[in-house]
Amino acid sequence: MLPTDTNSVAFTIDEVTHTIRFARDLDASPERVFDAWTQPDQLANWWDAMGDRLAICEMDLRPGGAFRFVSRHHPDKPFTGTYLEISPPARLVFDANGATGTVLLDEESAGTRMRVEIACSSADHLAQFVAMGVADGTGKTLNNLEKYLEANG
Amino acid sequence: MEINLDRAFGALSDPTRRAILARLAQGEATVGELAAPFRLSQPAVSKHLRVLEHAGLIDQGRDAQRRPRRLRPEAIKIVADWAEPFRILWERRFDNLERHLAAEKTEKS
């Protein structure tokens, strides 16, 4: 387990189970957070890290149903996958880029404790997945990483 | 020794080397101690150790006779920094979600 932020456990990479974990306390009920994840007009509002509304947000919300999120900045890099489990308002499981994403929503007195887990199949897959996610970001580390990936195919 | 990011990524791209690093994270170890659990020959382990050392991820401990290898604390930071843009991406996404939920609440009330 490698916590990258020593002040909190909001983000951890578990290298043994190849799982990335996030946690966030939200000032809203689990029902509302679940809707924000599962209604296209809502998710389109917040998914893009740059803050722009998604260009395309399609969801076939049922087990086995596909989704496709396309940002304006990276129309060439859609976030696509398949829903595996839809259990409102507590649990949403999907497959994306070969990793399994699980959203867990627990009701708390102040709102919702949201946990997001991204489970990769291997350490190599974990490294690739992080690198892919990085492709949307900015900064020097990104440039270094992109250069590395280009150089190493 | 300076850490070369490209070399570090190259060194980290091998599962055996990652396993060696994970072992060293628990404390320094000699070549022999590292070879045993991986069922590798000492020369094979030495080769991996040279790559890790060249990348600046490990160095040698003070005991000149045993020559134990140890993880450099900076190595941890490299991996952390490497994942940092990914963390930022998702944290931004969740910041947006918080704003979205707050705006929606205002609309409805």
pLDDT in tens, B29-68: 999 999 988 888 999 999 999 999 988 889 888 888 888 9
If one counts every other C-beta atom within 10 angstroms of the C-beta of residue A25, the result is 13
| High-pLDDT (> 90) share of chain A, % | 46
> Hey, what are B2's tokens?
């300076």
- For chain A, give the mean pLDDT: 79
- What domains are defined for chain A? 2-122 (3.30.530.20)
pLDDT number for residue A68: 97
Q: Write the residue in A32, A42, A141 that is nearest to B84 by C-beta.
A: A141
Q: Please enumerate in sequence order all residues whose Cβ is within 8 A of that of A79, keeping only pairs 6 or more positions apart, or say none.
A: A47, A68, A69, A70, A96, A97
Q: What is the mean pLDDT of residues A110-128?
A: 83
- Answer whether A46 sits within 8 Å of B82, measured CB to CB: no
* Residue B63: φ, ψ to 5°: -70, 100
A10 Cα to chain B: minimum distance (Å)? 9
State the average pLDDT over residues A15-39: 89
From residue B82, alpha-carbon distances to A2, A128, B62, B86 in Å are 12, 12, 29, 8
The pLDDT confidence band at residue B79, using thresholds 50, 70 and 90, is: low
**What's the CATH code, domain B5-108?**
1.10.10.10
